[in-house]
Structure 1
Amino acid sequence: MTWVLLMAAIVLEVTATLSLKASDGFTRRRWIAPVVLGYLASFGLIAVVLARGMAVGVVYGIWVACGVALTAVLGRVVFGEPLTRAMRFGIALIIGGVLLIELGSVAG
């Protein structure tokens, strides 16, 4: 269940970030609620995940890394932003880093 909560926190954070882009500097007011509520809910879920005993380094590393990778990919899909070869390589490195963090936390 802890992993499900972490995944939900990631999805909410990515949704809030994409909504922030869609708000166009908060000039499109209908996007303000998803931004604020998404970030608040995401941080709330992160607090629950930490309270359930998952290590802060693992939680934060996975949350940030997955958020960056998903935001880059969805930024391409939703907003047509560039996703260069270097960015794709960076996403691959992020995935590798997340795997190493998780494997390291189990081994330690």
Structure 2
Amino acid sequence: MSVSTISYAALGAAITCEVAGSALLQKSEQFTKAGPTLGMAACYGAAFFLMSVALKAMPLGVVYAIWSGVGIVLIAVVGALVFKQSLDGPAMFGMAMIVCGVVVMQAFSATTGH
């Protein structure tokens, strides 16, 4: 397995952990529920460890752009499906612009290391 593949896999796992941690943060009810609070802390710890693995072969700016772009969309989906939260048109448009920026960076930038 190449270093690049491992870095992208670690980043994907980091994003998944961060989204799970954010969902548990909502469930913790401002840290008043022990289970979700401990789960959130574990997920965030794993997310940052996995992000550090991705940083071995990818630039920080690239990792963080992918992390935040994908994370924003995934947590919005979790918010809608799990917490019954909705977004208005401008919010969805703004998120689409962020995703487009990540796609442009991945497709055209030599910095991403693909």
1:1-108 matches, cutoff 5 A:
1-51=6-56, 53-106=57-110
SS in 1 for 2:29: coil
Deviation at 1:5, TM superposition (A): 0.9
* Cα pair 1:58 1:105 within 8 Å, conserved: no
Aligned structure 1 segments of 4 or more residues deviating by more than 6 angstroms: none
Q: Residues of 1 paired with 2:31 and 2:7: CA distance?
A: 33
- What are the ranges of 5 or more consecutive residues in structure 1 without an aligned counterpart? none
* Cα pair 1:19 1:31 within 8 Å, conserved: yes
Shift of the 6–13 alpha-carbon distance from structure 1 to 2, 3 Å rule, reads same
Could you tell me the TM-score, scaled by structure 2's length? 0.86
Q: How big is the alpha-carbon RMSD for the aligned residues of Structure 1 and Structure 2?
A: 1.5
Which amino acid in the other structure matches residue 75 of structure 1? G
- What are the ranges of 5 or more consecutive residues in structure 2 without an aligned counterpart? 1-5
Percent of residue pairs bearing the same amino acid type: 36
Corresponding residue number in structure 1 for 2:3: none
Q: Residues of 1 paired with 2:111 and 2:66: CA distance?
A: 17
Deviation at 1:90, TM superposition (A): 1.6
Output one character per residue of 1:7-61: Cα deviation in whole Å (capped at 9) or x when no partner: 100000010001000111111211012110111100001111111x111111011
